[in-house]
Amino acid sequence: MQEWDMEFGEKEERKPSDITVFAGACTLHGINHIFLPGGVTFRRLLWALSFLTSLALFLYQVVDRVDYYIQYHHVTTLDEMDSSSMVFPAVTLCNQNSLRKSQVTKNDVYWLGGLLGVKEVEMPAFLATIGLDPDLSGFTPSRSFDMTALFDRAGHDLAEMLLDCRYRGEDCEAGDFSRVSYRPDTPPLTQPRPNSRSVGGIHSDTASLRTGHRGHSPEPGRS
């Protein structure tokens, strides 16, 4: 647009506004048709309406997807199979208290002190904490230590934990389970009834366990 200069009698061109320059250089589709030199026209109003509608739809979709994402939807796939015979599933018992403190001895604490973070000068206090005699006079540690023997002696005892068990409609007990894990502190249990029997009906296989036991360390009843 040009205007008349009264002093020099010449016409000089008016510089476009910053928003017009920005819109002309912007690659955002449609904005360069909205911000143009001159007054408001019907064509510019249509472009503005189309631009704002598209922007609103875009923002709505973004907000909707973000809201959907933070709901953490998940899909679970389940495969179901029918069989005339059924094998008892393995049950893994994971307990932070690997040992029963009632079965831990001074010799165990001596060999495991480094793993437990117990220094030699702290052994009497630690022994008193777990209910053992803190007096170390006359105590002589063994020349070697067997971790497997320790967990067999002081690890979880299924006979003390199993409150009730039913398999294929019949009662089962701790002796019906067998260990299949290489980790002595977490005994998975499997196949309480080795002999195969036909499932004549729908039976509920249950095993009730006592997970809080005073013999476990480091705290009574912690599981």
Whether 126 and 118 have beta carbons less than 8 Å apart is answered as yes
- Cα torsion at 117, 121, 122, 126 (round to 10°)? 110
The pTM for the full model equals: 0.40
Checking if the pLDDT of 192 tops 50, the result is no
pLDDT at residue 202, as a whole number? 37
Radius of gyration for the alpha carbons in the chain, expressed in angstroms and rounded: 39
Whether 212 and 223 have beta carbons less than 8 Å apart is answered as yes
pLDDT at residue 93, as a whole number? 64
Higher pLDDT, 58 or 220: 58
DSSP H or E run through 59: helix 42-69
Q: Give the separation between CA 157 and CA 153, rounded to whole angstroms.
A: 9
Q: For the segment 76-126, what is each residue's pLDDT rounded down to a tens digit? A: 888 887 777 666 666 666 666 677 778 888 888 888 887 778 888 888 888
Q: Which amino acid is it at 27? A: T
Q: For the segment 153-181, what is each residue's pLDDT rounded down to a tens digit? A: 888 777 888 888 887 778 888 887 776 65
pLDDT at residue 133, as a whole number? 84
pLDDT bucket at 56, cuts 50 / 70 / 90: very high
pLDDT at residue 1, as a whole number? 47
